[in-house]
């Protein structure tokens, strides 16, 4: 294998603590594989970000590497105790019953507080885990004590193996495993921690523990590809325990050529990045619209609603569609059930739990409005927008969906799900309702949207069709470069998502 002058120093590093900062498409996985191949006698754990990455990694890494997600490790150690009461997530209705409340805003706040705690490295649930918008003044802070007490009750019931009324989530048993301060030294010599910019503090704490126990730790990622702050993720690359790490940078991408790299650099320049992403792949084009006659193209949307609306339009044109993550991952059946509920056709509701919890559609809307639950609100938006013929439209979507991407003329995905993937031709959808230079932007939210655009743009290997926000960024960059626009600092309404 021929490695670049950037990859080789990382592969041959003798440091016990290494930080690998890898820009989009710069061969991060190839470098980690090279690192493992250079140490055939070492027992290495590759800590994968998700299950799909784990499955792909098992096909590529040598036999001295065990590929596992943090949840996979935690399930073997702790999660098996809760097999009988595992649930994907605690819904509002579940939490309301558990804490005996019909105050939906309170229930949502309790759930958010609990989830903030589960993602943290903290030992117990405290006021710090309450949503910041609920802590703006002294009266709100006093009321938050009740939220903390309810969250502690909910967490206690989750941990009770005999209490089947409150399920244990996957993040719940991960938290319990992390609280046990696991020492992996008996099984491994080195841990490779991938996607460090998007792991949450609880996993980052496990990695820090392994370094303190004497294992070799390699942490890799790209802060500009941080996409999951809204789930409690932190950029672990900036953690203080990595201050003594040996640092290596990968900036040369063989995925795309200079044109896509230039777009990426324009986005990153406004974030203050000084290093340049270098495109060494095939020549690429950046356009406003993909050329006609392509055998295949990928369309990346900001939202699930955007994906579904794009699919509805494409199905009318007879396109064969591949859904990244599978069509079932976009909750079509749940939406059909909600549609049936909305028109009173209760016999068509397949998920009977929906009927048990929300006997009337008006009650569902009331809970959604009171709690401002984003998933419920998005579902209502789709159901009411396509109220007349949603089942028929969804039947057409299933008919036009293919399981093998090679059979598809179009691949559809949210930009979040597209991370780690690549296509020859990529079109960015117009549902990125983001104004990059709006002075009312909140800095953290602005950074998240800029990261998402950077990730989306760098999925293209040959042709990239950009959308309005990227065009605005390109125009501002060129205007500043050519002296047409003043190079003034960007203005933000506030620095944090909830100040």
Q: Is 251 annotated as a binding residue?
A: no
Residues 226, 240: Cα–Cα separation, whole Å: 18
Secondary structure of residue 128 in the 3-state scheme: helix
User: 343 Cβ partners below 8 Å, 6+ apart?
Assistant: 387
User: 178 Cβ partners below 8 Å, 6+ apart?
Assistant: 74, 121, 202, 203, 205, 206
Q: Is 27 annotated as a binding residue?
A: yes
Phi, psi of 488 (to 5 degrees): -85, 155
Signed CA dihedral, 113, 116, 122, 128: sign only? negative
Q: Is 23 annotated as a binding residue?
A: yes
Q: Is 24 annotated as a binding residue?
A: yes
Q: Is 28 annotated as a binding residue?
A: yes
User: 414 Cβ partners below 8 Å, 6+ apart?
Assistant: 300, 301, 302, 303, 304, 306, 307, 324
Q: Measured between alpha carbons, how far is residue 426 from residues 28, 181, 289, 415, 435 in Å?
A: 22, 43, 10, 11, 21
Beta bridge partner(s), residue 88:
none
Helix axes 443-457, 468-481, angle to 10 degrees: 100
Q: Measured between alpha carbons, how far is residue 113 from residues 121, 126, 443 in Å?
A: 14, 9, 23
Phi, psi of 250 (to 5 degrees): -115, 115
Residue among 116, 81, 110 at smallest CA distance from 97: 110
Q: Is 80 annotated as a binding residue?
A: no
Tell me 262's DSSP state: H
Question: What is the CA 340 to chain-centroid distance, rounded?
Answer: 31
Instruction: Please give the structure tokens belonging to residue 24.
Output: 């989009």
Cβ 46 vs Cβ 66: under 8 Å: yes
User: Residue 278: exposed, middle, or buried by beta-carbon count in 10 A (0-12, 13-18, 19+)?
Assistant: middle
Q: Residues annotated as binding site?
A: 22-29
Q: Which residues are annotated as a binding site for ATP?
A: 22-29
């Amino acid at each position: 294998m021929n490695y670049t002058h950037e990859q080789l120093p990382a592969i041959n590093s003798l440091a016990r603590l290494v930080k690998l900062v890898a820009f989009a498409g710069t061969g991060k996985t190839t470098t980690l594989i090279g690192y493992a191949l250079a140490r055939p006698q070492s027992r290495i754990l590759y800590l994968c970000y998700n299950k799909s990455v784990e499955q792909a990694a098992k096909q590529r890494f040598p036999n001295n590497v065990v590929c596992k997600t943090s949840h996979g490790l935690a399930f073997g150690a702790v999660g098996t105790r809760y097999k009988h009461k595992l649930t994907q997530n605690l819904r509002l209705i579940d939490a309301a019953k558990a804490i005996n409340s019909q105050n939906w805003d309170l229930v949502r706040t309790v759930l958010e507080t609990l989830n903030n705690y589960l993602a943290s490295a903290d030992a117990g649930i405290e006021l710090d885990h309450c949503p910041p918008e609920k802590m703006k003044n002294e009266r709100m802070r006093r009321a938050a004590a009740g939220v903390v007490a309810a969250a502690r009750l909910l967490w206690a019931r989750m941990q009770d193996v005999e209490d089947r009324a409150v399920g244990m989530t996957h993040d719940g048993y991960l938290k319990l495993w992390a609280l046990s301060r696991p020492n992996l030294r008996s099984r491994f010599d080195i841990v490779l921690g991938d996607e460090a910019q998007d792991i949450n503090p609880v996993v980052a704490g496990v990695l820090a523990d392994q370094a303190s126990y004497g294992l070799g730790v390699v942490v890799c990622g790209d802060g500009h590809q941080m996409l999951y702050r809204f789930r409690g993720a932190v950029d672990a690359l900036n953690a203080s325990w990595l201050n003594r790490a040996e640092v290596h940078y990968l900036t040369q991408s063989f995925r795309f050529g200079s044109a896509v790299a230039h777009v990426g650099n324009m986005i990153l320049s406004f974030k203050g990045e000084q290093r340049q992403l270098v495109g060494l792949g095939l020549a690429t084009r950046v356009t406003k619209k993909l050329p006609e006659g392509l055998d295949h193209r990928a369309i990346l949307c900001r939202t699930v609603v955007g994906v579904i609306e794009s699919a509805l339009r494409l199905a009318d044109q007879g396109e064969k569609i591949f859904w990244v993550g599978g069509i079932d991952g976009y909750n079509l059946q749940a939406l059909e059930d909600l549609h049936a509920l909305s028109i009173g056709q209760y016999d068509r509701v397949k998920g009977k739990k929906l009927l048990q919890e929300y006997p009337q559609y008006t009650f569902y809307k009331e809970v959604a409005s009171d709690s401002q639950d984003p998933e419920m609100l998005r579902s209502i938006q789709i159901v009411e927008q396509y109220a007349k013929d949603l089942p028929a439209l969804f039947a057409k979507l299933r008919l036009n969906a293919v399981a093998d991407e090679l059979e598809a003329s179009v691949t559809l995905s949210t930009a979040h799900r597209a991370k780690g993937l690549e296509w020859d031709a990529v079109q960015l959808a117009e549902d990125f309702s983001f104004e990059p230079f709006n002075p009312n932007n909140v800095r953290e939210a602005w950074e998240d949207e800029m990261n998402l655009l950077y990730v989306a743009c760098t999925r293209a290997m040959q042709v990239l069709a950009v959308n309005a926000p990227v065009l605005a960024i390109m125009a501002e960059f060129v205007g500043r470069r050519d002296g047409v626009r003043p190079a003034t600092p960007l203005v933000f309404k506030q620095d944090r998502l909830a100040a």
